[in-house]
Structure formats: C-alpha cells, structure tokens
Amino acid sequence: MITRLISGGQTGADRAALDFAIQRGIPHGGWVPRGRKTEAGPLPDRYRLQETASGAYAERTEKNVLLADGTLIISRGSLKGGSLLTKELAERHGRSWMHADLDRGSVEEAAERIRGWIRDRSIGVLNVAGPRASQDPEIYKAVRGVLEAVFAGSGRAAMGDGT
C-alpha cells in the first residue's frame, strides 16, 4: 500500500527513512526547514524535500503530518522533543499515527504491528519520524532495520500491487 515515504530530513530516524526509500526505489519527499536545515548542516540535494517558508522545525513537522496518510514514529521509550510534537500535531489534526517503541519488543514484533496499522488505515503516503542522531546515535540503524522488516514481511503488498 505504501506509495511514498516522507520525512523531515533530520539526522537519525528521518534520514534512515529517506535512505531506505532511495535504496528501494520508493518515491520519497516531504518538507525540510528553509535552508534545508538539519543538525549536521544543510540536507544534501539528493533528498527530494521541499523547503518551508521558515527555518522552524515545527512548521516542517506539521506540514509532513498533514501531507501523509499516516505518521510512524520510531523510537526507544516515551516520546519527547520533536517526536512528542509530531504525535501532538497528528492528534490535533485528526491524522493517523503510530508509535513503535523499540524498547517494548523485537523488531519483528514492531514490524508486524506496523504492517497491520498500514493495512488497516490504508496508508499510502507514510511519514516516518523519530529522534535525531544526537539524541539516539543508534536510531538510524534501528529505523532501517524496522523498515526492512516491514517491507520484507509484507512482500509486494506493501507497494500496493495487491499481491
């Protein structure tokens, strides 16, 4: 069902989702703060994200929540900072969201729950969010692992061709 992956381009979870999409040939995009701002400097041009009018992370986050059919937040433990804001914005706008807390089970268990949520909510455009690399240096690898498991377990159906 997934036709496009989006994120805000930040280091960590966001960048893992974009790199996964590029590697798999899945269309990607989303919004990034003006100047392509990330904690590691400007987001490279190979990532096809649009710049917001301001450099504010919150504006970018809200635009991505609204652009997506559903927002998946992948982290360890309770939500905080930008991840908590993402959840709050999804709730405020009545948008579907899911938190995959990697402290509460295996990657395979998380992937199974995520596949069910994608299927049950008919998610086509998926916004992936979570901590930046400075908050969780291992989150990039973890998010890549979760996305690999989600797409491996769902076969071609995750791409919307019904098989």
- Give per-residue pLDDT as tens, 115-142: 999 999 999 999 999 999 999 999 999 9
Rounded Cα–Cα distance for residues 25 and 20 (Å):
8
pLDDT of residue 160: 41
Q: In terms of C-beta density within 10 A (0-12 exposed, 13-18 middle, 19 or more buried), how is residue 14 classed?
A: buried
pLDDT band per the 50, 70, 90 thresholds, residue 53:
very high
1 pLDDT tier (thresholds 50, 70, 90): confident
Q: How many residues does the chain have?
A: 163
Please say if the pLDDT value at position 21 is more than 90.
Answer: yes
CB half-sphere exposure, 21, CA atoms < 13 A:
26
Q: Distance between alpha carbon 141 and the CA centroid of its chain, in Å? A: 13
- pLDDT digit string (tens) for 27-37? 999 999 999 99
Q: How many CA atoms lie within 13 A of 4 on its CB side?
A: 13
Q: What is the pLDDT of residue 158?
A: 46
Contact yes or no for 130/82 (Cβ under 8 A): no
CA distance 17 to 128: 6
Q: What is the mean pLDDT of the chain?
A: 94
Would you call 137 helix, strand, or coil by DSSP? coil
Alpha helices in 93-124 (DSSP H): 107-121
pLDDT score of 157 more than 90: no
pLDDT, residue 154, reads: 60
Is pLDDT of 83 > 90? yes
